[in-house]
Amino acid sequence: MNFPLPDFAPAYPEIFILVMACVVLLADLFFGKRNRELCFMLTQFSLLGAAMLTWMTLSGDVRLTFSQMFIDDLLGDFLKLVTYLSVSIALVYGRGYLAARGMQTGEFYLLVLFATLGMMVMISASHFLTLYLGLELLSLSLYALVATQRDSALATEAAMKYFVLGALASGLLLYGMSMVYGGTGTLQIGEVAHALYSNVANPTVVLFGLVFIVAGLAFKLGVVPFHMWIPDVYHGAPTAVTLLISSAPKLAAYAIVMRMLVSGLLPTVAHWQPMLLLLAVLSIGLGNLAAIAQTNMKRMLAYSGISHMGFMLLGLASGVVGGASAEEATYNAVNAYSASMFYTVSYVLMTLAAFGLVMLLSRAGFEADNLDDFKGLNKRSPWFAAVTMMVMFSMAGIPFFIGFFAKFSVLQAVVAAADVMSVHGRTLYYWIAVYAVLMSLIGAFYYLRVVKVMYFDEPRENAPIEASPDMKLVLSVNGLSIALLGLLPNAIMGLCAIALGSSI
């Protein structure tokens, strides 16, 4: 029996990360105790090497390999490059934090590489089994990372909650996939869409599975009502791990929503679109209202993240509308999905800086994760107070930062969708846009509160801020990029539109 060899070129970055994970494991075994920085350097080299391989294989063509279970397209390549960058920045921010707590071990960096590999597989999955494999690789790595601080009862409790609820969500997603398989007879995402378009699928079984798939995806995104784990895990996990969970995995989650719902289950859009709208409306409302009551920065940013993911879903739900011509439908779809993608990238950029600032103020034996810890920051460090202000203004959607244009692009997509809909649908979308604006105004309160305590309150201590030069440099560049990309947002918007236009 002859088995044709698959084309390995599209998976070179994944293969490289896997090989480097083994190298990190062996390096830690032989040299880890003498050189704690070695694993950090090897991990950064791994991410750089994967980025170079992804760039070398970059093309406008869509390539399928491994029996059509793995896809290489511009959408996947762009999201992977942003993933490498965000993980690399997270490691720079977390290095001093981990060293001060005795957590800078080879196991930590090994788990980070496996989590990154899981995200890469999720982004390039074109088959339900490949997608689930990447999802579980990411999830199991994150469960272990949350529990890395073994002597912390808070971290252990967070890890247990994350594991139990994550296993439940994975079960829902897997059950939904099995129902779709039962209704269409295939697990290949492209063939699922073909079966639905050809009317050879069992629509009742597929729709039954769709509900479970949306529920599982909603948990991975952390949106209402599947958000219960977000505040507890963000608060309980070590801040370096919280930063990792809150950033790069959102890119992978966006990718699987696009692969599953848009590429595979688009014929059922009339059913999943209202679900996403409901999840978005609930998330934007509850996330902003609950964040007002928080005095812990990590919990505040957790609820803030819930509302931001609501905005991302709002963009996705505006991509397919009835009553539009074929040309209008294509334009609206690319516009809405690229707005959602731009929002996700912008959120990752902002949340990296936000949690990086929390770690900047932390030190050995002290977690600067309360609002009071930011009091008088302007007197201790005017520059990093300015960086914090830029991050908070951007998250609040104040012009002219990248967060403002992210929100604006999503709201523009919602209004564009309303313009081509029937009277009933048009009214609904207009009201949703107004509601999102009002909730953003409410959300501005808790962001501006951080700015107020930095500039108008007296500092609780006058100790200088100590951090490595590389962290200060990267954090400064991160903050400035939020401002500069707000002035020139078309660069990233254009990349998102090009990546989506060639992939959907």
**Residue pLDDT, tens place only, 16-44:** 999 999 999 998 888 866 677 888 899 99
Distance of alpha carbon 492 from alpha carbon 132, whole angstroms? 29
By three-state DSSP, how is residue 71 classified? Answer: strand
CB neighbour class for 265 (10 Å; exposed up to 12, middle 13-18, buried from 19):
buried
- Per-residue pLDDT band for 467 (boundaries 50, 70, 90) equals confident
pLDDT of residue 321: 65
Q: Which structure tokens are listed for 254?
A: 């966006």
Reported as type and span, the H/E element at residue 286 is helix 269-292
Q: Output the DSSP codes for 389-410.
A: HHHHHHHHT-TTSHHHHHHHHH
Q: Tell me whether the omega of the peptide bond preceding residue 400 falls within 30 degrees of 0, making it cis.
A: yes
Helices (H), 293-381: 297-317, 326-361, 377-380
CB neighbour class for 193 (10 Å; exposed up to 12, middle 13-18, buried from 19):
buried
Q: Which of 117, 151, 112, 111 is nearest to 134 (CA)?
A: 117
Q: What is the mean pLDDT of residues 211-236?
A: 89
**What's the half-sphere exposure (Cβ side, CA atoms, 13 Å) at 163?**
14
Residue 112's identity, in one-letter code, is V
* Percent residues over pLDDT 90 in the chain: 43
Q: Could you report the per-residue pLDDT of 276-310, keeping only the tens digit for each?
A: 999 999 999 999 999 998 888 999 999 999 999 99
Task: Specify the DSSP class assigned to residue 262.
Answer: I
pTM above 0.75, yes or no: yes
Helices (H), 101-152: 106-123, 128-146
Q: What is the mean pLDDT of residues 54-70?
A: 84
Range ranked top by mean pLDDT from 113-122, 184-193, 198-207, 422-431: 113-122
Q: 362 — alpha (psi -120 to 50), left (phi > 0) or beta?
A: beta
By three-state DSSP, how is residue 363 classified? Answer: strand
Q: What is the mean pLDDT of residues 187-201?
A: 87
Backbone angles phi, psi at 72, to 5 degrees: -125, 110
Q: Could you report the per-residue pLDDT of 357-397, keeping only the tens digit for each?
A: 888 887 765 677 788 888 888 888 888 899 999 999 999 98
Average pLDDT over all residues of the chain: 87
Tell me: pLDDT of 326 over 80: no
Distance of alpha carbon 298 from alpha carbon 333, whole angstroms? 35
Distance of alpha carbon 238 from alpha carbon 156, whole angstroms? 10
Tell me: pLDDT of 462 over 60: yes
By three-state DSSP, how is residue 310 classified? Answer: helix
Q: What is the mean pLDDT of residues 200-206?
A: 86
* Helix (DSSP H) and strand (DSSP E) numbers for the chain: 20, 2
Residue 281 · residue 432 · CB < 8 Å: yes
Residue 460's identity, in one-letter code, is R
Distance of alpha carbon 497 from alpha carbon 490, whole angstroms? 10
Tell me: pLDDT of 424 over 80: no
- Per-residue pLDDT band for 480 (boundaries 50, 70, 90) equals very high
Residue 22 · residue 77 · CB < 8 Å: no
